[in-house]
Structure 1
Amino acid sequence: MRQRIATQTALLALAVATGCSRLDHVGQPPPFTPSGQVFVNPTPVTPERIALATPSPAEVAAMRAPGSDLAHERSASLWRSGPSSLFGDRRAQGRGDILTVVIEIDEEAEISNATERNRSGNEDLAIAALLGLPKLVDDLTGVSLDPAAQINSSSSSAGDGSVKRNEEITLRLAATVTQVLPNGHFVIVGNQEVRVNFELRDLRVQGVIRPEDISRRNEITYDKIADARISYGGRGQITDVQQPRYGQQVADIILPF
């Protein structure tokens, strides 16, 4: 009896805990994510792969030295290379700069496989004469040794499978350079949320880019982002209705049929 009560209590606590995430927008639209919250990578990049590198004073001096690619001359000339210049380079050049990520995914894949296998075998073993033994066995038992053994076998298998996918996404998103790696590559993070009535659309992107891949319009396409994480979804009343209940999801995992 105590075990049954404990089980019911645990199930009730689980139901309450899973439902609390939906109680924050009962009768009201879902809240926005706090501004500045970075995109959480489901597979975090290890420090060995990406390390936050703070430029040393010597590196800063080298970047600001005359003749360097990232030099920002403070003269009043219109031909300065900095972003404040009328004809300067407007591309993202360091931590905190903003660039536009262009996501244009139009992919179609179709795979079809078919296999067929057949095999057959036949073996016969006969003893026509062995010092009169076949005739003796036939006279005594009525069992003929011709053929003494016969084996037949056959097998066949067939398989057919196909995969067909068609994806098309066209988006533009502003991202911020959050880290500068020792090799000069940038780690970018972008987050955009748009709420319409009681449904919130959420778009997030994260990855590593090379500064030379940024176009003159300060844009970069998604296929030039290494270790890219692109998420497009939403939350709200419509998304809640489209998802199966937590109990049904647990039942689908536990039940073997």
Structure 2
Amino acid sequence: MKTKHKILIFTLAASLLGGCAQTPPKPDNPYFAPVPPAAMSAPKPVDGAIFHAGHSVSLYEDGNARRVGDILTIVLTERTQASKSSETELEKNSDVSITAPTILGSPLTINGNEASFSLPGGTRTFESTGDADQSNSLSGDITVTVSDVLPNGVLRVRGEKWMTLTSGDEYIRISGLVRPQDIKPDNTLDSVKLADARITYSGTGEVHDTNKMGWFTRFFYSPLWPF
């Protein structure tokens, strides 16, 4: 019976791990979907005047993104590098000895031997070293849309790009806040100037799956495995 219980527990644990596997992402996520611009008013009849009511484009306004639904190109220039080194060395020595006590000026003896003793010395040593080095880079372009304009003029942008390859898909998702003055004249923005940025680069398919542990292997690296 105990063996059957172990097999049942093992099967349930493996099933739970298999069920916890994340569902692969799919295109057209509503959070990254483009926001359509507000409906424009019908053009007024031409009456010979230079300015017309209902035209939202200023005489001195450029073509950069500034309204909901406008398009902006984000230039990905992400590069991070981190390194850490630590070294620890501890050493402790101990030595205990007790001399023979005296009674009326004479040392205490046991069977003719002075009642003194000492403990053997002890030494403890601990040494530890650790090094970590990590670097990441991401380059490319992704065009997003303005989803909201905050009261202070900051633009909230979002978007995604999917590329279908031979053995799977690769995608980039990005969202964040943009200051209009940081947008370049060609309507592009470096990703390092994107506030509250959320950038995801990953993929789906066979190549991506080969870099992940299977549910059975994950069981032996999970807290459920007691050994």
The TM-score, its normalising length taken from structure 1, stands at 0.64
Pairwise CA RMSD of aligned residues? 3.6
Cα distance in 2 between the residues matched to 1:20 and 1:117? 45
Secondary structure in structure 2 of the residue aligned to 1:38: helix
In structure 2, the CA distance between the partners of 1:12 and 1:223, relative to structure 1 (3 Å rule), is closer
In the other structure, the counterpart of 2:100 is 127
Higher helix share: 1
| Aligned with 1:72 (options 53, 57, 63) | 57
CA contact (8 A) 2:18 2:215 kept: no
Is the CA contact 2:14–2:219 (under 8 Å) kept in the aligned structure 1? no
Preserved contact between residue 207 and residue 226 of structure 1 (Cα < 8 Å): yes
1:104 counterpart = 2:74: no
Partner residue of 1:33 out of 27, 31, 43: 27
Report sequence identity in percent: 25
Q: Is residue 2:196 matched to residue 1:203? A: no
Contact 1:32-1:193 within 8 A present in 2 as well: no
> What residue ranges of structure 2 are gaps of 5+ in the alignment?
34-50
**Structure 1 unaligned blocks of 5 or more:** 23-30, 41-65, 74-79, 83-88
- What's the CA shift string for 1:129-184, capped at 9, x where partnerless? 3315634x33xx45522x34556343221110001123222111111111222322
| Structure 2 counterpart of 1:171 | 140
- State the shift of 1:200 in Å: 0.7
> What residue number does 1:225 align with?
194
Query: Where in structure 2 are the equivalents of 1:154-193 lying within 5 Å?
Result: 154-193=123-162
Q: Would you say how many aligned residue pairs link Structure 1 and Structure 2?
A: 202
1:178-233 alpha-carbon deviations (Å, 9 max, x no partner): 12223222211120001023411111111122222212221111211122111111
1:117 aligns with 2:90: yes
Pairing 1:11-90 to 2, within 5 Å after superposition: 33-34=27-28, 37-39=30-32, 72-73=57-58, 80-82=59-61, 89-90=62-63
TM-score normalized by the length of structure 2: 0.71
User: C-alpha distance in 2, partners of 1:120/1:12?
Assistant: 50
Paired with 2:135 and 2:21, the residues of 1 have a C-alpha distance of: 34
CA deviations over 1:40-67 (Å, ceiling 9, x no partner): 9xxxxxxxxxxxxxxxxxxxxxxxxx9x
Task: State the SS of the aligned residue for 1:240.
Answer: helix
**How far off its partner does 1:16 sit?**
8.7
